[in-house]
Amino acid sequence: MASALSGASSTLDSSADSSWNPEGASFPKSFAWGASTAAYQVEGGWDADGKGPSVWDTFTHQGGDRVFKNQTGVEYYDKMIDSLLANDVTPVVTLYHFDLPQCLEDQGGWRSGAMVEAFDSYAQFCFRTFGDRVKLWITINEPYVMAELGYEEGMMAPGIKELGTGAYLAAHNMIKAHAAAWHTYDRLFRKTQGGLVSIALNSDWAEPFDPNSVADQEAAKRHVAFCLDWFAAPIFLNGDYPAIMKSQISAMCKRQGSPSLRLPEFTEEEKMMIKGTADFFSLNYYTSRKIKHRDNTHSPPSMSADKEAEQVTEPSWPVATGSSWLAVVPWGLRRLLKYIKDTYNHPIIYITENGFSQSDPAALDDTQRWEYFRLTLLEILKAIYIDGVQLKGYFVWSLLDNFEWTCGYRSRFGLFHVDFENPALPRAPYKSAIEYAKVIANNGLMKSHG
Ligand code: BGC
């Protein structure tokens, strides 16, 4: 697998941008096509076979769901990995996708430094148990989402509302936990297993509301800094938070008369430990935002106030029918990819999530949604061939309609429709699944997909 991930993509001259038509182009050889899911969103069986409750079981008031120290869980994933491989599907495994065991949350969850060791030993267990067959690992899915929505605004499990400190603290421990797991892989397994380890970072692309306003341009940069760079800068660059974030939070703390900096600091030793702990860049992209500067000098402490950046709805951008937050902006993905290339030393990138939801009930003929996918794939081709981005794979979120967190089953992201009313949960392909299969078979978009 490692060899499929190396090597640069060929590039067209950027002056060809306007004249080059990506429609008939093929994706690079060995481009990885996929579809993603997450345990909690598709598996069910929250209290089956000795599985303990996770924070989401508590948050959704069901009561109780996991793998570690649970033989049935291990057998379940063993079987799944084996059957994927038997069907020529390469598994990319995420160790943690929002469903922290409730017992760990009860000890402080990601606000506690003890999570670093707990996560590291869980990661070590998974590398040892499944690493003979799994060669691509993601430690943590979207630490930004967990930190902001789970520990700052309390809108997702575990529902902690600690404005101005919760997200920074949770993120701090997640970064250290990721780095510890990467080192464990590097030290104990890389030589024998030959796999790669990264962390899935989500980010919007941000455009200045007024492209001629320096304040809006700076605010747009802050929007990306407080989301993507917050994690990518320490991990891919220098072990530390982006300068723009540190100076912004420090200025806000001073103005608010806060005695200490609300953003925790890494020690020099921790910086050395964190720096360079990703073997590829795993990006989850859904949307773009127009951003305007907003003066928050007098606001009470919160991460959102620290940013001094306001999101403005752009009426010309279509919105996915199943998610009001999801403005569909395929060209934003190209810009984000170029930004990552330029900022993070031209890494190998995988898009590990991208998708558009439909509201319920959803028609199997999702022509409009397929058009979004098609436009996105065209932008990806431009990113590869015009911008020279080393993009090695694209995975649709999601394989199946599933439990979309606080939206439950109403927001449908699947390539396959699931009838949740029927206990047998029958599945049927949307048009997008059929068209996506053609793209995969052709390794490119054919004119007939238009
Ligand atoms: C998450 C998925 C979620 C998807 C759509 C991503 O942020 O990783 O779990 O279902 O977005 O909201």
- Rounded mean pLDDT, 169-184: 98
Angle made by CA atoms 154, 100, 66, in degrees to the nearest 5: 145
Phi, psi of 419 (to 5 degrees): -90, 100
Q: Which residues pair with 418 in a beta bridge?
A: 427
What's the 3-state SS for the chain?
CHHHHCCCCCCCCHHHCCCCCHHHCECCCCCEEEEECCHHHHCCCCCHHHCCCEHHHHHCCCCCCCCCCCHHHHHHHHHHHHHHHHCCCCCEEEEECCCCEHHHHCCCHHHCCHHHHHHHHHHHHHHHHHCCCCCEEEEEECHHHHHHHHHCCCCCCCCCCCCCCHHHHHHHHHHHHHHHHHHHHHHHHHHHHCCEEEEEEECCEEEECCCCCHHHHHHHHHHHHHHHHHHHHHHHHHCCCCHHHHHHHHHHHHHCCCCCCCCCCCCHHHHHHHCCCCCCEEEECCCEEEEEECCCCCCCCCHHHHHCEEEECCCCCCECCCCCCCECCHHHHHHHHHHHHHHCCCCEEEEEECCCCEECCCCCCCHHHHHHHHHHHHHHHHHHHCCCCEEEEEEEECCECCCCHHHCCCEECCCEEECCCCCCCCEEECHHHHHHHHHHHHCECCHHHC
Range of the domain at 143: 2-442
The reply to whether 309 falls in a domain is yes
60 pLDDT tier (thresholds 50, 70, 90): confident
Does residue 15 have a pLDDT over 70?
no
Specify the ligand 1 atom closest to the Cα of 38.
9
Ligand 1 pocket member 411 (CB < 6 A) = no
127 vs 181: CA distance, rounded Å = 9
The reply to whether 178 falls in a domain is yes
Name the residue of 95, 397, 398 to mutate for ligand 1: max ligand atoms within 8 A of Cβ.
Answer: 397
Residue nearest to atom 12 of ligand 1 (CA): 404
392 vs 394: CA distance, rounded Å = 7
AA letter at 172: H
The reply to whether 448 falls in a domain is no
Whichever domain contains 239, its CATH number is: 3.20.20.80
Specify the ligand 1 atom closest to the Cα of 145.
7
The reply to whether 450 falls in a domain is no
pLDDT of amino acid 450: 43
pLDDT of amino acid 449: 43
pLDDT of amino acid 408: 96
pLDDT of amino acid 7: 30
222 vs 406: CA distance, rounded Å = 27
Ligand 1 pocket member 203 (CB < 6 A) = no
297 pLDDT tier (thresholds 50, 70, 90): confident
- Rounded mean pLDDT, 354-371: 97
pLDDT of amino acid 2: 30
1 pLDDT tier (thresholds 50, 70, 90): very low
The answer to which of 14-28, 46-60, 107-121, 230-244 has the lowest mean pLDDT is 14-28
343 pLDDT tier (thresholds 50, 70, 90): very high
pLDDT of amino acid 62: 57
Q: How far is CA 127 from the centre of its chain?
A: 21
pLDDT of amino acid 447: 54
- Could you report the per-residue pLDDT of 300-338, keeping only the tens digit for each? 999 999 999 999 999 999 999 999 999 999 999 999 999
Q: Whole-number mean pLDDT of the chain?
A: 93
- Could you report the per-residue pLDDT of 252-271, keeping only the tens digit for each? 999 988 878 899 999 999 99
Ligand 1 pocket member 282 (CB < 6 A) = no
12 pLDDT tier (thresholds 50, 70, 90): low
Q: Which residues are the active-site residues?
A: 142, 353
pLDDT of amino acid 18: 64
Does residue 63 have a pLDDT over 70?
no
Phi, psi of 259 (to 5 degrees): -70, -30
> Do the bridges between strand 205-208 and strand 288-293 make them parallel or antiparallel, or are there none, so unpaired?
parallel
The reply to whether 337 falls in a domain is yes
17 pLDDT tier (thresholds 50, 70, 90): low
16 pLDDT tier (thresholds 50, 70, 90): low
Name the residue of 404, 407, 410, 418 to mutate for ligand 1: max ligand atoms within 8 A of Cβ.
Answer: 404
Name the residue of 54, 352, 405 to mutate for ligand 1: max ligand atoms within 8 A of Cβ.
Answer: 405
Contact, 229 vs 203, CB < 8 A? no
Percent of the chain residues past pLDDT 90, beyond the cut: 87
Q: Provide the domain count of the chain.
A: 1
The reply to whether 256 falls in a domain is yes
Ligand 1 pocket member 141 (CB < 6 A) = yes
The reply to whether 413 falls in a domain is yes
- Rounded mean pLDDT, 190-197: 98
Does residue 350 have a pLDDT over 50?
yes
* pTM for the structure as a whole: 0.95
Percent of the chain residues past pLDDT 70, beyond the cut: 93
The reply to whether 112 falls in a domain is yes
64 pLDDT tier (thresholds 50, 70, 90): very low
Task: Say which residues have a Cβ less than 8 Å from residue 394's Cβ, sequence separation at least 6.
Answer: 31, 32, 33, 34, 350, 351, 354, 377, 380
220 vs 214: CA distance, rounded Å = 10
- Could you report the per-residue pLDDT of 105-163, keeping only the tens digit for each? 999 999 999 999 999 999 999 999 999 999 999 999 999 999 999 999 999 999 999 99
Residue 344: CB atoms within 10 A of its CB come to 18
pLDDT of amino acid 20: 84
